[in-house]
Structure 1
């Protein structure tokens, strides 16, 4: 009797192994990809990791020949499917990350598009140089940042397009061209802020600036004072080089209290050597993560988080920091893993003089609707006429929202309902919204926020008539 039982168990084991192996092989052959928020899982044909120009060129030519689709990914922090598409070949650019040329005297650097801002900072900091425009975090790839045309804290520059000298573009037919303001200038305005729809950005030449020493100043105020304060004390002061603000979402000061941090050019730049070492921002994360977690799950926690955050920065007012270190904000404490919840970003742009009435209307919406807003950061973005898909039609304040929500269908539907209302309020105040997030706005709202969007999609079809480069954003609005 023992032998048949043994054979039976061996048979069951063999079948189980066979099924598991083939399921594993299927998953390898048909991977499911996610963005950082994890709300749009998508099965792609395969993921390729680009390392050489020749590889990338071959893959694009093959896709063009066989009618396949390509999507392009960096760190995948865009949250609306801009980096992938069902059944497409997703090209992961993170390994395409070499620094190709660096000229400290000319303040110029050329890097492959998969390099991160941290890679560049590490290279240029010893020479006393810094970036002109980037996000507050330096973890993103240059190609990804170009594709969404990021902006930062520096009030002298607008969006990233201001600092780009040129780049090479791998087009849908496999050809490679040099793009700048004088070579293929139309593509220059389309690709930067083009969400990977016109080709693969291969390498980029960036302008650099001096790594200045700043002394920070944090000021508390009511939201109604903010626009005038910014005009009189920030924008008109040449010594204020960078600026960031926050508005309270805590119940005790709901959309009324603010604080602003200005980075003044330090009077003695010879001191910069004492502060020049690049800081590891993520060494101590337990305490800020604790307070952030409190804010995620209770109104009382939001009050505590706001008070601690505000008082800490007020206490630090007068301290010194280099430009490169201002552009290295902490990220680890914001990492969030919860099986039933996730966090998304939204970003709305509103003209400087519309700020107070806009906040009044936003508050009216949020006192009636349920939306778990954790933090709102305010930055300034100057008018941008270069990018076809410019979000700054005039001088704008950018409000960056961090929102905690349920992953369930009901949770997603509730968030969408509220965000649609916020988008309507934003457009009412001559504003716009940032495109790297979920496709909640209607086609008409897109066209209202981005008056050249029809032209943008027409040019996409002109330069890529076979739609080799695809993503969810184009599927939703462009086809």
Structure 2
């Protein structure tokens, strides 16, 4: 009996040890930083990979092979990638492509998820090495080459100045942000276009023109939000802001109360300089609770700011984020942590310097946007996380979210993050905001197999239809699961946009996956 009991304890201990080891190994995998960018597919046959004709004068970083974007689902064969450093590199690459009858596309951080940064069998210009930044303090502007990343720009501007408009994270390039007309946390400024003074553009024939709202304005309206189809953005003159100090505040509200709070408290208060709202993705309060973050301007003109710091505890954040994919219990825990714990670890840099620790949390304008989101990247090669964004008139936000909630609960969507931001009426050619709107940004998990792709295709088309029912539109930098009819319905000017493409680029030198997928669907343009 004693031997049997001892053996049973040993087996039980071994089982517990094995379970602990398995849990530890799983946790390690969920917390681990990626070793390389994901590359999930689709498969490309070897006979599709052909070397380009020799051009020793071009600074190739890759010849033949494939490229992908951050979705990891857009693997595409190309003739090669040119590592651009100078304007001459760009001109030479365009001349080479014209001579060889090849298409050209421009790539930055590769965060557009629908092949917008490359064309099949084309030449890709990697713009990330084309990144000079010059600040004009007196004019409160900066002149930036298109490959510069916002992360580096913020480090250059800090501590005196800050970016006026950019996305809520800093991983993107200026050229990419202009090409999608990005927007972010500053609800007063709105999209990047509103901060642009002028752009220098290289056209398909290698000539260089300056464009702005008043100079070559038609081309300007097509370059901004034009997805790289009209020319290469060389540099942009962009307005900058003072790096003011804000008090960071947060509160939990019901989403039903948000439109009124925004209109009466946020939009009406000029001292609120930044804002965003996070919606619950936990099953018990799914898309009903919102954490409202606001940043209130403080008068601290003489405070000396330290250098910007990168995001801390990336491994722990990655673990919590990836655990939330493992079931409702973990999703509830993630939301609880954001509501009750996360703010206790918030870095209140200015508070500490000003000797106000324990009172308000004070930060400079640059800090909330100085986030390269390293915790969103992982080694989980069987899945990927996909962005969506929908723009709906402000009076229709709640009806859209109600429909979206019902849809996602019905089909079991694994929604990881959902946030609400603000966009203003825009005037660009391919316009996502013909009126004042709220934007709903979604981050959705999917498997990378055919079943996962098909489920995402159905979800995307359903959400596009729901946005249309609410009088809204969908953002185009993401996966191409919508059909031509949905594109035409959301963007009735799309035929005119493609017609302008032919007018400005008659040889169709510039191309990408988005253009190749949809332009042929509008033969009358």
Q: Which TM-score applies when normalising by structure 1?
A: 0.91
| Partner residue of 2:158 out of 120, 125, 129 | 125
Could you say which residue in structure 2 is the equivalent of 1:337?
Answer: 379
Residues 1:304 and 2:342 are matched in the alignment: no
**Cα separation, partners in 2 of 1:279 and 1:102, compared to 1, 3 Å:** closer
Could you say which residue in structure 2 is the equivalent of 1:464?
Answer: 505
The separation in 2 between residues aligned to 1:157 and 1:29, in whole angstroms, is 42
| Paired positions, count | 452
| Partner residue of 2:404 out of 342, 347, 362 | 362
The separation in 2 between residues aligned to 1:80 and 1:310, in whole angstroms, is 34
Shift of 1:323: 0.6
Shift of 1:170: 0.7
Q: Which residues in structure 2 correspond to 1:214-293 (within 5 Å)?
A: 214-266=246-298, 268-270=299-301, 272-273=303-304, 276-293=305-322
Contact kept? 1:50, 1:91, Cα under 8 Å: yes
Could you say which residue in structure 2 is the equivalent of 1:85?
Answer: 119
Residues 1:95 and 2:129 are matched in the alignment: yes
Could you say which residue in structure 1 is the equivalent of 2:465?
Answer: 424
| Partner residue of 2:188 out of 141, 153, 156 | 156
Could you say which residue in structure 2 is the equivalent of 1:397?
Answer: 438
Shift of 1:256: 1.1
Shift of 1:334: 1.2
Shift of 1:330: 4.8
Q: 3-state SS of the aligned residue for 1:232?
A: helix
Shift of 1:172: 0.8
Name the stretch that deviates more: 386-395 or 48-57: 386-395
**Cα separation, partners in 2 of 1:406 and 1:105, compared to 1, 3 Å:** same
Q: Which residues in structure 2 correspond to 1:365-380 (within 5 Å)?
A: 365-380=407-422
1:313-341 Cα shifts (integer Å, max 9, x gaps):
56569311111112112511111221211
User: RMSD in angstroms over aligned alpha carbons?
Assistant: 1.9
The separation in 1 between residues aligned to 2:338 and 2:296, in whole angstroms, is 21
| Partner residue of 1:47 out of 76, 81, 84 | 81
Contact kept? 2:154, 2:370, Cα under 8 Å: no
Q: Which residues in structure 2 correspond to 1:174-193 (within 5 Å)?
A: 174-193=206-225
Shift of 1:394: 1.4
Name the stretch that deviates more: 133-142 or 310-319: 310-319
Shift of 1:225: 0.7
Residues 1:199 and 2:228 are matched in the alignment: no
Q: 3-state SS of the aligned residue for 1:294?
A: helix
Could you say which residue in structure 2 is the equivalent of 1:328?
Answer: 370
Could you say which residue in structure 2 is the equivalent of 1:32?
Answer: 66
Residues 1:110 and 2:143 are matched in the alignment: yes
Q: 3-state SS of the aligned residue for 2:128?
A: coil
1:323-382 Cα shifts (integer Å, max 9, x gaps):
111211251111122121111111111111111111111111112113211111111111
**Cα separation, partners in 2 of 1:330 and 1:310, compared to 1, 3 Å:** farther
The separation in 1 between residues aligned to 2:234 and 2:175, in whole angstroms, is 8
The separation in 1 between residues aligned to 2:361 and 2:180, in whole angstroms, is 33
Q: Which residues in structure 2 correspond to 1:340-351 (within 5 Å)?
A: 340-351=382-393
Shift of 1:411: 0.9
Q: Could you list the runs of 5+ residues in structure 1 that have no partner in the other structure?
A: 1-22
The separation in 1 between residues aligned to 2:516 and 2:51, in whole angstroms, is 26
Could you say which residue in structure 2 is the equivalent of 1:9?
Answer: none
Q: Which TM-score applies when normalising by structure 2?
A: 0.83
The separation in 2 between residues aligned to 1:337 and 1:148, in whole angstroms, is 28
Contact kept? 2:49, 2:64, Cα under 8 Å: no
Q: Could you list the runs of 5+ residues in structure 2 that have no partner in the other structure?
A: 1-47, 53-61, 347-358, 521-525
Shift of 1:160: 0.5
Shift of 1:298: 1.2
The separation in 1 between residues aligned to 2:72 and 2:314, in whole angstroms, is 23
**Cα separation, partners in 2 of 1:124 and 1:337, compared to 1, 3 Å:** same
Could you say which residue in structure 2 is the equivalent of 1:15?
Answer: none
The separation in 2 between residues aligned to 1:285 and 1:96, in whole angstroms, is 29
Name the stretch that deviates more: 113-122 or 464-473: 113-122
The separation in 2 between residues aligned to 1:102 and 1:82, in whole angstroms, is 30
Contact kept? 1:350, 1:426, Cα under 8 Å: yes
Shift of 1:196: 0.4
